[in-house]
Every structure is written in C-alpha cells, then in structure tokens.
Amino acid sequence: MPITNVLVAGVGGQGVVLASELLALAAIGAGHDAKQGEFHGVAQRGGSVFSHVRFGDRVFSPTTRRGEVDFLLALEKLEALRYAHFVREDGMILVNDHEVEPIRTADTRPYPKGAVAFLKSKGFAVRTIKATEIAVELGNHRAANTVMLGALAEQLDIPDEIWDKTLEGRIPEGLLELNRKAFAMGRERGR
C-alpha cells in the first residue's frame, strides 16, 4: 500500500491540529499505519500552523519532504501559497476560500490577492471550497476545518463508517452533529 502524504495548513485557531488528528485517527481506523507531526510557531498570535499526516502500509517518519505531498489542505488562501512547494507534481491543493489578515507591526503591504489564480498558473491542481461560509451557515465558523476535511475525505479511500466513528470518538457530544453536517457538506463540495 503506497504512503499518502497530506499537509494541513492554516493559522492559529482554525483547527489545523484537530483536522490532522481526525485524519490520522481515521487512517488508523481504516487499518493504515499513520504518523502525524505538527508545527505551531506563533499560532496563538494568529501565526502559521501546519501539520503533516502520513499513512499507508508502513510509515517511518511523520514529516514529508518538499515536492512529495499528495494533498495540501489549506484552511486559508495565504497558507496555500506558503506551503504549495510541498505538493508533488500531480498532487492536489484544496483551499478554503477564506482570507485571514496577517497580524503585522510595521508591514503595511496589502493581503496578496489572486492566490488561487497564481497557484493554478504554476500548474497546481487546485479546488476552492467556501468552507468558512458553509460553517457559518451551519452555525459555527470554527467548523470550517471539518468542512475541508470532508472535501479531502472525498479524495481518500477511507470508508464513511470509519469517518463517522472517528468524529464520534473525538468531537465533544455538543458539537458532534454540527461537525457531522460540516463533514457531509465538505464531502459534497469535494466531489
């Protein structure tokens, strides 16, 4: 079984770590060996957060080298730009159509527009999902990570019942139904 390499990226507070944990747990539930490695940086200050998830028959390292990621799950557009160099030539970038203005002190440059168009111009296969918008419609913007995870799940060979058990085992009961709906909406958008 080949190894699947996923990089989940976003900014502090978007649920990067939870999404990568859910992915790793679902992969394990499906019988894979899985490794997860996360990097927080200045996450509590709105900084970049990313997490590698690798799963397959046998995985030895939790991190993926540049140019070897199968799927980049970007919870924010600028983070898709920041980590695109990790994606392999025929890999896929799933991007939340959402912008989080970076926290700055003296830097007055505007937020870079046209991130998705730029990535496409470089030959990347990019799918944009309005995950934050969907999560807000469902009642909680913080479920955008689960919407994006659902979109990714559509690309993976992990059975629905495994995903459902994973959500049930990790998401608090009061938020479970919201996250199930968010995941299902993501799967629908990922088709």
CATH code of the domain in which 135 resides: 3.40.920.10
Instruction: Please tell me which residue, 190 or 21, carries the higher pLDDT value.
Output: 21
Residues 146-165: tens digit of each pLDDT: 999 999 999 999 999 999 99
Please give the pLDDT value at position 2.
Answer: 87
Q: Are 144 and 131 in contact (CB under 8 A)?
A: yes
pLDDT band at 124 (very low <50, low <70, confident <90, very high): very high
Say how many C-beta atoms besides its own lie within 10 A of residue 104's C-beta.
9
Instruction: Please tell me which residue, 100 or 91, carries the higher pLDDT value.
Output: 91
pTM across the whole model? 0.92
Given a cut of 60, whether residue 44 has pLDDT beyond it is no
Q: How many domains does the chain have?
A: 1
Helix axes 131-138, 173-190, angle to 10 degrees: 140
H-assigned helices in 30-172: 77-83, 115-121, 131-138, 144-153, 160-170
- Show the domain range for 50: 4-102+111-190
pLDDT band at 110 (very low <50, low <70, confident <90, very high): confident
Say how many C-beta atoms besides its own lie within 10 A of residue 45's C-beta.
9
Given a cut of 90, whether residue 46 has pLDDT beyond it is no
3-state secondary structure 137-150: HHCCHHHHHHHHHH
pLDDT band at 41 (very low <50, low <70, confident <90, very high): low
Mean pLDDT computed over every residue of the chain: 92
Q: Are 15 and 68 in contact (CB under 8 A)?
A: no
